[in-house]
Chains A and B, each alone.
Chain A
C-alpha cells in the first residue's frame, strides 16, 4: 500500500524552462512533507520542505506547493538547469502528536528529472 505516490518515473525538460514534479499521498494524517534530491552513486540530500499549515514554501529556484484537499504536492524548479538532473523523492511524515519527532519518513519511488542543455 503506497501512501506516497510519484506517478511519473521520469521527466525531461529544456534548460531554462520550468520543471514540475508531482506527488500524491493517501494518508490524511501526514502533516509535513519534504523533497530530497539524489545524484547517482550519492545519498539523498534535503531540498525543501513544507508544513501542512502552509500551501507554499519557496527557496530560491525551488517552490513547493501543497493542496491538502487534493492530497497533492508539487515541486517547481524555475529556471531548470542541467545540474538539477537527478532523482527527486517526495517524503511525508506525521509530526503532530509526536512531540515533533517521528522517525518514520514515508518516501515515494522518485522521479528522474533530466534537464537538457
Chain B
C-alpha cells in the first residue's frame, strides 16, 4: 500500500528554471493538498483540490500552479524558480473534507533548493 508518493525526493534548481513536483495517491482520495515547510517553520498550504478538475488557492499560492486531471495525480508546477521557493514540499490527501474524521495523509516530501 503505497499511500501518497512524491517524486523527486531532492532537486536543485537555478533561478528562473521551471520544474514539476509529482504527487500520486492510490487511496482513491478526492481531496489533495500541497504544503511547503520552510526551515524552522510550520507547514503552509499552497494549493488544494477537492476532486478531478477542481483546484483552489491556499495561503501561499504565488509562483505555483497546479492541475488535477485525474483522482490519483496532483502535480505542482514552479514556472520561474526563485530562492524564496527553497523549501520542503509535501503533498497530502484525505478521504473526505471532514477534518475531524479524515486526517491528512502526507507523502515523504520533496526537498527543493533554488540557487
* A contact set with B: CB distance below 8 Å: 4, 9, 32, 34, 41-46, 49, 51, 89, 91, 93, 95, 99-110
Contacts and interface: CB of A to CB of B under 8 A. Distances in A.
A106 B109 CA distance: 18
Given A51-B100, A101-B99, A105-B104, A44 B90 contact: yes
A50 B33 CA distance: 22
B66 interface: no
B108 A43 contact: yes
Contacts of A105: 43, 45, 99, 104
Contacts, number: 66
A103 B97 contact: yes
Contact of B42 (A32, A104, A108): A108
A7 B110 CA distance: 27
B98 A100 contact: yes
Interface residues of B, number: 26
Given A43-B108, A109-B42, A32 B100 contact: yes
A1 to B, nearest CB: 12
A64 B113 CA distance: 36
Given A106-B42, A109-B41, A110-B42, A32 B99 contact: yes
Contacts of B105: 46
Contact of A100 (B33, B41, B97, B106): B97
